[in-house]
Amino acid sequence: MTASPVLLAADHVAGAVHLLALPEGRPLAHLTDRHVSEHAGFLALPGDRVAFVDDRAGELVVLAPFEAARGGEPVVATVPVAVPAEHLAADPTGRHVVVTTGLGRAEEPWSDLLTAVDLAAAGGPHAVRVRTRVGEPGATLPAGDGPTEGPLAVVRHREPGSWDVHRHADLLAAGPGCPVVEPYARLPLPDDGHGDAHDPVTGRLFAATGSGVHRARRAGDRLVTEPPLPWAADGRAGGRGHFLRIDPRRRLLWSCLRGGPADPADWPAWTNDAWWHHLDTGRTGRVELGEGLVFRMAIAERRVAFARCHPDGDELVLLTTDLSGTERPRVTARVPLPPMEGAPRPGGTPWDGVQRRAVAASPGAPWVAVSRGGHGEVHLFDADSGVERARPTLPTPLDEGGRLALLAPGDGAHGDPAGR
């Protein structure tokens, strides 16, 4: 019998991770004293596993969520890592992981620590911490073409912008005391990089910048740059993407382009376009989502979903992913969401001391989950129809929206090997 999808609802403020069976939202397990890094998120791994960084304990935690559905222990591995976690990424096998560090509760970058992890080392998971340079770096781990070529750890830095290339094996071989490591290769990038993706099928890397999506591909132990992808498409221009996501089933690269006023207090006037690029044909397009805060997105079986916050009312925006013939992604539903007490207000920033929404889906399931920050509620929608199917209530409030991950057995989500 095939296991049902599982929802992971992390309350990073209260320090809990709730595992729920879908679609009814039945509780399976509750992990306590686990403060999931809200910025680094969840990383899908092969074998129906998922990883996150516990920012308080300083650990990378690997879960087997479907073990909880069978009555077993969901935590299958832990290993110490440097925190506060900024991003985490894996190679296509899921064995090798990198965790970068960022701001945490500070206002300026202060940590230069990078952690390399081998989850299948002899004797158990093994991690080594090294120093690179202070910033808010992203990371990807492209695999080699042959059995003797191990994964590269490519760290994307800002100001000055660059892709810094390390051999993951060299990081694991570093000595004690958190030594400084220098990349053996460095490729220039604009200074405003924010958002990373890696396509395991082609070995290409992507970095979102203000000028477009910069690309490189692995060739042996080198990275070879390719022409950037522009943000402009379908007669629409302007805006920039702050994240990148790969839909591994339909081979689509996604972002959301934010435009409008630069002052965060004017966030209700921000414009938002879904931007997509087909990795195999090169077709590219944009879809208008509406004004306000569009923070993150999720990829379901036949839809992609964006949660949009606005003083006039929040909504879940659902788009098709069909590219057959002349079909292109388009909005199929705009589903109103109940208001949140403590929601962002005009004149204040949409992320400081306010409630938000997290969104999650699986490329192997027809569901989309959206949190209602501060209320301890998760709304589960049928992604095809936009109809709400369940509204489980959690024992913690999900302040700041929490973090969600939705997993279906064998869904192939690890084809996007970056924390989300």
> Maximum Cα–Cα distance for the chain, whole Å?
57
φ, ψ for residue 317, nearest 5 deg: -110, 125
- pLDDT for the residue 145: 72
Q: Give the pLDDT confidence of 246-290 residue by residue, as tens digits.
A: 999 999 999 999 999 999 999 999 999 999 999 999 999 999 999
In whole numbers, what is the pLDDT of the chain averaged over residues? 96
CB 73 within 8 A of CB 31: no
- pLDDT for the residue 147: 62
**What token pair was written down for 120?**
């299948």
pLDDT bracket for residue 69 (50, 70, 90) = confident
CB 242 within 8 A of CB 260: no
CB 97 within 8 A of CB 148: no
Q: Give the pLDDT confidence of 329-372 residue by residue, as tens digits.
A: 999 999 999 999 999 999 999 988 999 999 999 999 999 999 99
The vertex-252 CA angle with 94 and 383, nearest 5°, equals 95
Residues 6+ apart with CB under 8 A from 235: none
Q: Beta-carbon neighbour count of residue 326 at 10 Å?
A: 5
Q: Give the pLDDT confidence of 221-237 residue by residue, as tens digits.
A: 899 999 999 999 999 99
CB 69 within 8 A of CB 6: yes
pLDDT bracket for residue 295 (50, 70, 90) = confident
- pLDDT for the residue 1: 52
SS3 track for the chain: CCCCCEEEEEECCCCEEEEEECCCCEEEEEEECCCECCCCCCEEECCCEEEEEECCCCEEEEECHHHHHCCCCCEEEEEECCCCEEEEEECCCCCEEEEEECCCCCCCCCCCEEEEEECCCCCCCEEEEEECCCCCCEEECCCCCCCCCCCEEEEEECCCCEEEEEEHHHHHCCCCCCCECCCCEEEECCCCCCCEEEECCCCEEEEEECCEEEEEEEECCEEEEEEEECCCECCECCCEECCCEEECCCCEEEEEEEECCCCHHHHHHCEEEEEEEECCCCCEEEEECCCCEEEEEEECCCEEEEEEECCCCEEEEEEECCCCCCCCCCEEEEEEECCCCCCCCCCCCCCCCCCCCCEEECCCCCEEEEEECCCCEEEEEECCCCCEEECCECCCCCHHHCEEEEECCCCCHHHCCECC
- pLDDT for the residue 282: 96
Average pLDDT for residues 36-62, to the nearest whole number?
98
- pLDDT for the residue 311: 97
How many angstroms separate the CA atoms of 167 and 131, rounded?
14
Q: Beta-carbon neighbour count of residue 262 at 10 Å?
A: 6
φ, ψ for residue 132, nearest 5 deg: -115, -95
Residues 6+ apart with CB under 8 A from 230: 212
- pLDDT for the residue 149: 82
- pLDDT for the residue 144: 80
pLDDT bracket for residue 3 (50, 70, 90) = confident
How many angstroms separate the CA atoms of 361 and 210, rounded?
27
- pLDDT for the residue 293: 97
- pLDDT for the residue 146: 66
How many angstroms separate the CA atoms of 420 and 417, rounded?
9
**Whether residue 126 has pLDDT greater than 70:** yes
Percent of the chain with pLDDT over 70: 99
**Whether residue 77 has pLDDT greater than 60:** yes
* Cα dihedral: 52, 56, 57, 62 (round 10): -10
**What token pair was written down for 134?**
């202070």
- pLDDT for the residue 232: 97
Average pLDDT for residues 95-107, to the nearest whole number?
95
Q: Give the pLDDT confidence of 376-400 residue by residue, as tens digits.
A: 999 999 999 999 999 999 999 999 9
Q: Give the pLDDT confidence of 180-214 residue by residue, as tens digits.
A: 999 999 999 999 999 999 999 999 999 999 999 99
Structurally, at CATH architecture level, domain 6-415 sits in 7 Propeller (2.130)
How many angstroms separate the CA atoms of 343 and 339, rounded?
8
